[in-house]
Amino acid sequence: MRCGKIHMKVGKDGRGKCSVPMWRNGLPAGFCDEVAYGPPIKCKMYRDYTGRLCREDGRYNGYVPGLACPSHGGPKEVI
């Protein structure tokens, strides 16, 4: 899978598409493609008792190559 320009930069209207890769039965199934307003918001990280890396705010901590929707740790819409 390869991200397009719309997954990497916000357009003139202030929107892009979420670049988080999605998987189904262990195979690539495209990208999230929800409306995204910017890259993931930085947050402090810690390791839980199993050694897994977690965000302090509890949001998505997986791989995000470009823009992220609010569900995957990106900024919310600015009104």
- Per-residue pLDDT band for 79 (boundaries 50, 70, 90) equals low
Query: How high is the mean pLDDT of the chain?
Result: 89
Rounded CA gap, 33 and 68, in Å? 9
Residues with Cβ within 8 Å of residue 54, at least 6 apart in sequence? 45, 46, 47, 48, 61
Can you give the pLDDT at residue 51? 92
- Per-residue pLDDT band for 69 (boundaries 50, 70, 90) equals very high
Over the stretch 39-54, which tens digit does the pLDDT of each residue have?
999 989 999 999 999 9
Q: What is the pTM of this model?
A: 0.82
The residues spanned by each domain of the chain are: 5-70
For residue 39, which of 79, 12, 74 has the smallest C-alpha distance?
74
